[in-house]
Amino acid sequence: MRKILFVINPAAGKGRGIKEIPRIQQRFKEFDYEIIISKEANGITKMVREELDKNYTDIIAVGGDGTLGEVINGVVGKEITVGVLPLGSGNDFIKTLGLSEDFEERLLAIENGATEELYVPSVNEHYFINVLGWGVDAEIIKEKNKNIIREGKLNYLFSTLKMLLVYKPKEVTFSIDGKVYTREVYLVAVGNGQYVGNGMKICPGGNPQEKELEICVVEKMPLRTLLRHFPKIFKGTHGSVKGIEILKGRRIIVTFPKATVIQEDGTLRQVDALDLRKEEKIRMII
């Protein structure tokens, strides 16, 4: 018998998660289920861990990639299935899986309960699910969060183009499976999934079914060259551009010269170093 916990991020989808409670209740009235609502930003992992003694079989993130990542941090290593009802501004991880973003279709998928085992990467002893990046990537998230229009592809696209115009590439040294790279970069993105920004295919070979992470390194280049080739990111063909490297690896280590802001599944964090690897798996509703 399944016992399902729906974890709602009230900030996702401009509060749509709260509005969808009656539809969840109607669909799952024959199930053993509960609904909880996050009361604070970045508090979902703690909430989920506090619920683990109630023997839930499934925990469903009602929100975006960040909400899903927080739920996963609460259940890695447990015999619990994870699912998502996508209400974020991008919902990029399920794009990699080829899953529909339609809310009704995802309700049906959760009801049916078919699952797949996927890798979930760790970074500095916690987990993310989609893409982690630093450089202009983090600055784009900062800018997006300041904009009046908070949701959708247009906001992310506007923020990306704006920050590319003002961002100054920075030197970084990192290692991939022991091989050391020093580059002056606009950004480095490390992908378990493929997409960011509601459809930008930054890590075109990112695959949560494989143990390797994909790393996209965008080196310093003339701004006009960067902007000319920028549309290729939507098809994932930007790896053909000189100065952009697409690499693979199981362990990535970075030591920053000073505290640096990264973005992780759309959430900003400040770090001094990174240690990324893929070792754990989760079971996810598809």
Residue 149 has pLDDT above 80, yes or no: no
Phi, psi at residue 268, to the nearest 5°? -90, 135
Whose tokens are 């699910």? That residue is 129
End position of a domain, from candidates 87, 113, 139: 113
Task: Tell me which of 49, 81, 113 is where a domain ends.
Answer: 113
Number of domains in the chain: 2
Residues 102, 170 share a domain: no
**238's torsion region: left (phi>0), alpha (psi -120 to 50) or beta?**
alpha
- Per-residue pLDDT for 170 more than 90? yes
Once rounded to an integer, what is the mean pLDDT over residues 186-212? 96
268: containing domain:
131-278
Q: Give pLDDT, residue 244.
A: 98
Give domain status of residue 274, yes or no: yes
Residues 136 and 271 in one domain: yes
Question: pLDDT class for 220, splitting at 50, 70, 90?
Answer: very high
**What CATH number does the domain containing 178 carry?**
2.60.200.40
Binned at pLDDT 50, 70 and 90, residue 156 comes out as confident
Q: How many CA atoms lie within 13 A of 178 on its CB side?
A: 0
> What's the one-letter identity of residue 179?
K
pLDDT > 90 in the chain, percent: 85
121 lies in a domain? no
72 shares a domain with 202: no
User: Does 256 reside within a domain?
Assistant: yes
Share of residues in the chain with pLDDT > 70 (%): 98
Its pTM stands at 0.93
Pick the more confident residue, 125 or 120.
Answer: 120
Contact of 189 with 137, CB cutoff 8 Å: yes
pLDDT digits (tens, 9 = 90+) for 137-148: 899 988 888 775
pLDDT at 15: 86
Is the domain of 135 the same as that of 272? Answer: yes
Quick check: is 108 in a domain? yes
Backbone angles phi, psi at 282, to 5 degrees: -130, 160
Query: Quick one: pLDDT at residue 151?
Result: 58
179 and 86 housed in the same domain:
no
Query: Is residue 125 in some structural domain?
Result: no
Q: Does residue 55 share a domain with residue 183?
A: no
Verify that 166 and 207 share a domain, yes or no. Answer: yes
Q: How far is CA 147 from CA 10, 89, 150, 156, 270, in A?
A: 19, 13, 6, 10, 21
